[in-house]
Structure 1
């Protein structure tokens, strides 16, 4: 059962990683640093935050608190990343840390209690916490990408094309689901 769960988690995380990458690939470099207003974050800042969170939560996942002493969360929301190369390096390093930690889990680990900000979590709860957190921010990246892109290409079924998609997928454009 835990193997099935873990494979599902990895599949979902890979999907959201790819959604973020497909979004960033559509943008000009300067679009990655664009902010709507002073209260908003750029894609670069969101990536910086994800990177900091991922390294903190997944480094020594089973043996130390997920909020590491060396993490500077406030700095994650400052403009520190200046190039697309730096942004992609942090993006990939964060995700690599996540997947490396997940790949080390053994059957005996599932009953352990781990801590995030000194709050106890089961391993499943800690994973689920991040499985909710990362897509939340990837959704922000997509939203900003849609606003910043000069020629946005839908990542899923484009607006107004659901019937055509269903017709191709199911062979019947009038198929409805209940």
Structure 2
């Protein structure tokens, strides 16, 4: 019999590495001057999205980076969430470092979690969640922001955009290649 918790955690780790890779595929296409560009005056630039993702990952998962800790709070006391949404002057290298640091915290915490941890309690801003619920909340949150990055970069790059999935008109060829591998 398969341990559902172990299966879930393995899938979560793999899928979130894929989400990270998708974001990196988009970010890697930005020109230096596009990191701080937003599509609307109230929109978020890639830099702002990275700042927010990194801040959230550190806050939510820093306490679990070395495994489950009873009483863990998923909102770090020193976090300044509003500042994450302020446009700064970080360089692309600094933004890549923030991206990597945030994902390292989340993925390290995910690696340390055990199936039995999924039903344990974690609070976020004092609100109790199971670890499973907290993970699901963040999977949706992080994926949403990464897809915002993809849309933003695709729009900024226009005709220079390099697809991160199956190119338009390429489904039949892709399906044939997949069938040949089986």
Fold-level similarity (TM above 0.5): yes
| Residue 157, structure 1, aligned to residue 160, structure 2 | no
Pick closer, same or farther for the CA change 1:29–1:119 going to 2, 3 Å.
same
Query: For 1:106 and 1:154, how far apart are their aligned partners in 2?
Result: 36
Secondary structure of the residue aligned to 1:52 is helix
Moved more, 138-147 or 59-68: 59-68
> What is the aligned length?
171
| Residue 166, structure 1, aligned to residue 175, structure 2 | yes
Gaps of 5+ in 2: none
Query: What do you get for the CA RMSD once the two structures are aligned?
Result: 1.5
1:53-68 → structure 2 map (5 Å cutoff): 53-61=56-64, 62=69, 63-68=71-76
Deviations 1:31-88 (A, max 9, x none): 1111112110001100000000000000113442111221101000001352001100
Note the C-alpha offset of 1:96. 0.4
Moved more, 100-109 or 14-23: 100-109
Instruction: Assess if the C-alpha contact under 8 Å between 1:24 and 1:145 holds in 2.
Output: yes
Secondary structure of the residue aligned to 2:129 is strand
1:80 match: 88
Deviations 1:119-153 (A, max 9, x none): 11111111111111111000000000101115111
Pick closer, same or farther for the CA change 1:36–1:138 going to 2, 3 Å.
same
1:128 match: 136
1:26-41 → structure 2 map (5 Å cutoff): 26-41=29-44
| Residue 100, structure 1, aligned to residue 79, structure 2 | no
Query: For 2:100 and 2:63, how far apart are their aligned partners in 1?
Result: 18
Query: For 1:36 and 1:161, how far apart are their aligned partners in 2?
Result: 29
Structure 1 stretches of 4+ with a deviation exceeding 2 A read 61-64, 106-111, 163-171
1:5 match: 8
TM-score of the two chains, using structure 2 as the length reference: 0.88
Secondary structure of the residue aligned to 1:19 is helix
